[in-house]
Structure 1
Amino acid sequence: MAFVFMRETYAYALLDQKTKRLRKETGNPKLRSVLDKGTTTKELFSLAMVRPTKMLLFAPIVSLLSLYMALVYGYLYLLFTAMPTLFEKEYNFSSGSVGLSYLGIGTGSLIGLVISGATSDPLVRYLAKKNGGERKPEYRLPLMAAACLIIPAGLFLFGWTAENKSHWILPIIGTSFLGVGMIIVFMCISVYLVDAYLEYAASAIAASTVLRSLVGALLPLAGGSMYKSLGYGWGTSVLGFVAAAAIPLPVIFFKYGERIRSRNLFDVKL
């Protein structure tokens, strides 16, 4: 739908389209856009492959936020693999009813989407107004700080209510907390990376997406053995403790993110 209904806004692409049209109209193949660096297709492909990797390895903001996003994404799929066993064996859900247990994550994700969509831009405008009208990418992070508290809370609630065989709604409420926090974290990090890296935003997003997909594919493989050894309580608590350790991350980048970017600790220009 975005491809069909949204207009192109990227300056390089717009000028490239205009240049191609002028070449065709004038018959002059030497016309070039002022933004055209003369990069060949082979070089562009190399840049597209190398730059995200370089940012993931050498940009602290990209690497740490991508790692946190990947962990949360991995937690989601790990719970996906654990929930059928939990609700079938411990709560005697039928195979048809087990699918309803995912409504907690779905509902929480929808709530997180509404919260992030309704508060992200107004919060940036509010903080910019307090700062003399100057907007900073770091103004996207306060909402993430709140979400980082919700995620471990949801994990602990899910794990220990499942361990103690509490009412079935309580683990589902725990997963809804995870859904709320997960979507807010994803939205905040994605928009922050776009605002912080502008021209290289696509590379930053690509780096986080690759890492997230890898962790999402591999982490659930350890879920069965982990819950078998530690149980739902301590098994999920391990995940919660790791998530809790990341709570200071948005606070640190809110305070020092601009300084980290301005010091140019890494070079993304290949």
Structure 2
Amino acid sequence: MTITACAFAGIAGAASSSYAMGYSSMIRDLNCTLFQATIGLSVYALGIGLAPLVTSSFSEEFGRSPFYIVSSLMFMLTEVMIALAPNIQTVIVGRFLGGVFSSTGSTLVAGTIADIWLPHQRGFPMSLYALGVVASMGLGPTIAGWIEANPSLGWRWIQWIHAIVSGVYFVSVLLFMTETRSTIILTRMARQVRKDTGNDRYCARAEENKPRLASMIAISCMRPMSLLLTEPTVQSFSLWVGFVWGVLYILIDSISGEFSGVYGFGVGETGTVFITITIGSLLGYLANVYQERLYRKYVHRKDQEARLYIACVASVALPTGMLIFAWTARPDIPWIVSMIGLTLFMASAFVLYQVVFVYLADCYGPYASSALAGQSICRNILATIFPLFTTQMFDRMTYKWANTLVALIAVAMIPIPYILFFYGSRIRQRSPVSKKILAIEALNQTASFGKS
């Protein structure tokens, strides 16, 4: 079930980035501009960011399993819609809807893992989930580049391949995914007992004082924004990961142009450059394996901040990778050097992506889903905005200076994990949300002590 859930995250990640490899044939076939094609890349991230504000409440009401079934089916249909699109407007609408339905792969997976794994067991499956998201963003364009390079295939076949893979995944959901949310399972059991016995006294706790769906949607929309606007921990990490995610989308949009212009790479060869995202993700995954060891060793001393050791290293490695890429993408320097810079950047980005999930989940406990939804909004909105000015920025500043500017902004963000590492507990002590969480934990401990 974990692999099936994480596979959806991988399919969604591949679809987000492989689309950009079909720009040339799309512009030719649909008679559109590069900017119009880029909008399709941006609105996908917008759909991923906005949809969970509403859908998370429906998953609490109706369970996770129906969402996997409906989302995977509808995602497959959006890929078919894009593949058959007669104009760029249909492509843009299809991409937005694809982002909406693929958001299940980026939001419910963490909840599914939390349902079926104990807290001390979640490190590996969460790393598998993050690896599925980020690594597939490199693997997708690698394959799509060679599809685009074939004159008889082009951008439509990139979408058809996604539709076929999504169809296979939909069948796997029907075969392997069952309901994992405990409140839904207990409610169904209580209904069955009432039906079998005819006694209405049997009920699940989730059925008592059950809030209306409208109020649940209102809370799921308002609470993430409230945490994003009021909690320094959520703000800082959201800004950091949002910036990095936006830069990743810039790279997705610009790598082809840079490597073809500087090194004369063809479409298939530039697609292969995206394998650096996958390699960097694997290196980041290994770094997180070591981080888990550090966490178990120092958690009693540092509490949640024991999650941040590797993040502090990644904050320095990330702009270093960007500067290597910016200053070595020249005809007189071998292309492998630039790819090393990209790999270092992606390894650092993967570490950050993973740390955001586990650190905010540890810090915000019962409010973790809202905190993560808040950072997701910030992350995907920036991913929506950044590609829209990529072409203009590189045309006016050149690739070297534009990437240098991005690296310098990343340098300014280096202190974020260090501040949280040394002062995170003090910052949380001043937070009204953290005080509520501590009160809930104290109440739970008192109840457990009373039962014992």
Please indicate the TM-score interval, normalised by the length of the shorter structure. 0.7 to 0.9
* 1:252 paired residue number: 419
Alpha-carbon offset, residue 211 of structure 1? 1.4
Shift of residue 163, structure 1, vs aligned partner: 4.9
Contact 1:195 1:201 in 2 (8 A): yes
Match of 1:81 in 2: 253
Distance 1:112 1:172 in 2: 16
TM-aligned CA deviation for residue 10 of structure 1: 9.4
Provide, for residues 164-194 of structure 1, a one-character-per-residue CA deviation record: whole Å limited to 9, x for no partner. 7521111111110111000001111110000
Question: Which ranges in structure 1 are unaligned for 5 or more consecutive residues?
Answer: none
| CA-CA distance at 1:200 after TM superposition | 0.9
Judged with a 3 Å threshold, the aligned counterparts in structure 2 of structure 1 residues 177 and 236 are, in CA distance, closer, same or farther, namely same
- Flag as ranges the 4+ runs of structure 1 deviating above 6 A: 4-7
| Conserved 8 A contact 1:58-1:266 | no
* Counterpart selection for 1:113 from 265, 277, 285: 285
- 1:8 corresponds to which residue? 115
161-170 or 13-22: which moved more? 13-22
- Aligned partners of 1:51 and 1:268 also within 8 Å: no
d(CA) in 1 for partners of 2:304, 2:352: 15
Report what 2:100 is aligned to. Answer: none
Structure 2 Cα separation of the partners of residues 126 and 10 of structure 1: 21
| Matching residue of 1:212 | 379
Counterpart of 1:192 in structure 2 is 359
More helix by share: 2
Q: Distance in 2 between matches of 1:255 and 1:265?
A: 20
Secondary structure in 1 matching 2:205: coil
Residue 224 (structure 2) aligns with: 52
C-alpha deviations, 1:81-124, integer Å up to 9, x for none? 111111112111122211111122221111112221x1232111
Q: Aligned partners of 1:29, 1:16: CA distance in 2, in Å?
A: 18
Separation in 2, partners of 1:259, 1:185: 22
Q: Shift in Å at residue 80 of structure 1?
A: 1.5
Residue deviations 1:30-70 (CA, integer Å, cap 9, x gap): 84518955322111111111111111111111111011101
Matched letter for residue 377 of structure 2: V
Does the Cα contact within 8 Å between 1:112 and 1:184 map onto a contact in 2? Answer: yes
Of the two structures, which has the highest relative contact order with CA contacts closer than 8 Å and spacing of 6 or more? Answer: 1
Q: Which residue of 2 aligns with 1:64?
A: 236
- Relative to the length of structure 1, the TM-score reads 0.88
Q: CA deviation at 1:29?
A: 6.1
Task: Say what the alpha-carbon RMSD is for the aligned residues.
Answer: 2.7
Identity %, equivalent residues: 27
Matching residue of 1:98: 270
Cross-structure match for 2:298: 127
Matched residue type, 1:154:
G
Could you tell me whether the CA contact under 8 Å between 2:311 and 2:355 is conserved in 1? yes
The structure 1 residue matched to 2:401, chosen from 234, 241, 258, is: 234
Q: 1:18, CA displacement in angstroms? A: 2.5
Equivalent in the alignment of 1:145 = 312
Q: Is the 8 A contact 1:152 1:244 kept in 2?
A: yes
Distance in 2, Cα, partners of 1:57 & 1:217: 20
Counterparts of 1:10 and 1:50 in 2: how far apart (Å)?
29
Structure 2 CA distance, aligned partners of 1:75 and 1:201?
25
Q: Which runs of 5+ in 2 are unaligned?
A: 6-64, 66-111, 119-180, 437-452
- TM-score, structure 2 as length reference: 0.54
Change (3 A) 1:95 1:194: same
